[in-house]
Chains A and B, each alone.
Chain A
């Protein structure tokens, strides 16, 4: 390790010699005969742990050095002990106001100068290193958090995909719903501040959207895998996937009582509700439908339209778009439809959009 440096700034050699004698065994001593030289030393040396600064000097005085250090934000990092020949205390106040660590008066009392200097060096080193350590810890925590979040997301997606694989799909639906949900929320956040959506919430809702059909795990094969349109009775059973999803979530809830859980629950339960109140299971209408579920609903409907189903063929992007805008496929709120209109191109060009947005976070 580099030897710690102490910078002695005094125009009188005799004073510098005395101070050097006090510290040269333990520290590398740098000297400056005036303020100008002091700043050169400060610029050229990176390991200065203390500056002993005389006030009255030719060329540039001690206060000039303090001013320099203040404008370069150095007083937080390098402690300054002002060494003054003044016996009056006026300049002490001025010095402390600048943020010097201590003021000492000539003639020096060597033991006191040494003791105080060491204390101050230790104090500042601890403070400085503490900040460094805190920063490192914070970064470590953030990295850990990211890993946890990714692990979490992986588990959620895996769990959600179980349902899809059971109905012989590929798992792509889950991925697309998350993308669509995120795109919709980005527009909602930008153009509809009244919903108070934050970037963190966008993230949580998008992650929660993966779970929207988790309740389908409780639907019998005969209905879930039926290669034809469902009868009205079968459809009633199918509708229960919303409440079954909530039952599953409730069982796993444990200590979870945060926003993310709330989004999961809302999305599972209300992603088939309609703005006009004709949806299921609770027949919520208008503003009663949580925005999270309403956004996932439009994403789900669009994806269903453009994907093949046993009972229908694929609709073209623009046809699906028109069907939703015309209200043929479930009623959505004017705000959500406006977002959908804004997001139209992004939905159509989903492949390119996936590349453009950073979905990894």
Chain B
């Protein structure tokens, strides 16, 4: 199995992303490999805990854009909700969604790192 196939199993809309990358699989993979670095640690959670909601929104917003373009659909949807909830000052709900998505996040990162 390739990295792309494995990500497909994790819910990524690989076909859509391939279109976006003009069917250039190598480029898609190269960009996917930048993801672990971006998502490292628990930046959004840390910011919320520290009361830095603005910072949390900014980071979550950036991740949302990138995840969307890479078509990591489950995480894209999670971060979309997180951004919305944080803007509505609903930090608790945002935190719970963030916590729920951690396992998926770890799997995705582990998958990509395996091919690095």
Q: Which of A's residues lie within 8 Å of B, judged by CB?
A: 11-15, 17-18, 21-22, 54, 56, 85, 87, 106-111
Contacts and interface: CB of A to CB of B under 8 A. Distances in A.
Contacts of B21: 18, 21
A107 B62 CA distance: 12
B34 A15 contact: no
Contacts of B20: 18, 107-110
Nearest to B34: A14
Contacts of A13: 31, 34
Interface of B: 16, 19-22, 24, 27, 31, 34, 58, 61-62, 64-66, 68-71, 76, 80, 84
Given A107-B71, A108-B20, A85 B61 contact: yes
A288 B21 CA distance: 84
A22 B69 CA distance: 13
* Most chain A beta carbons < 10 A, residue from B24, B61, B66, B84: B66
By secondary structure, the B interface counts as: helix
A21 B27 contact: yes
B65 A106 contact: yes
B73 to A, nearest CB: 10
A87 B80 CA distance: 8
Nearest to B64: A85
Per CB-CB distance, the 10 closest pairs between chain A and chain B, nearest first, are: A107-B68, A85-B65, A106-B65, A14-B31, A107-B69, A21-B22, A106-B68, A110-B20, A14-B66, A12-B66
A324 B58 CA distance: 87
Contacts of A108: 20, 69
Contacts of A107: 16, 20, 65, 68-69, 71, 76
A226 B70 CA distance: 104
* Most chain A beta carbons < 10 A, residue from B58, B68, B69, B84: B69
A21 B69 contact: no
A298 B38 CA distance: 90
A54 B58 CA distance: 13
A15 B24 contact: no
Contact of B27 (A12, A17, A85, A87): A17
B91 to A, nearest CB: 19
Nearest to A11: B62
Contacts of A110: 19-20, 22
A54 B68 CA distance: 14
Nearest to B22: A21
A17 B80 contact: no
16 contacts: A11-B62, A12-B66, A14-B66, A15-B66, A15-B69, A17-B31, A18-B20, A18-B21, A18-B69, A21-B21, A21-B22, A85-B64, A107-B65, A108-B20, A108-B69, A109-B20
Given A21-B27, A107-B65, A110-B20, 5 more contacts: A15-B65, A54-B65, A56-B61, A87-B84, A108-B69
Contacts of B65: 12, 15, 54, 85, 106-107
Contacts of A106: 64-65, 68-69
Contacts of B24: 21
A56 B57 CA distance: 11
* Most chain B beta carbons < 10 A, residue from A15, A107, A109: A107
A106 B61 CA distance: 11
B69 A56 contact: no
Given A17-B27, A18-B69, A106-B69, A56 B62 contact: yes
A111 B61 CA distance: 24
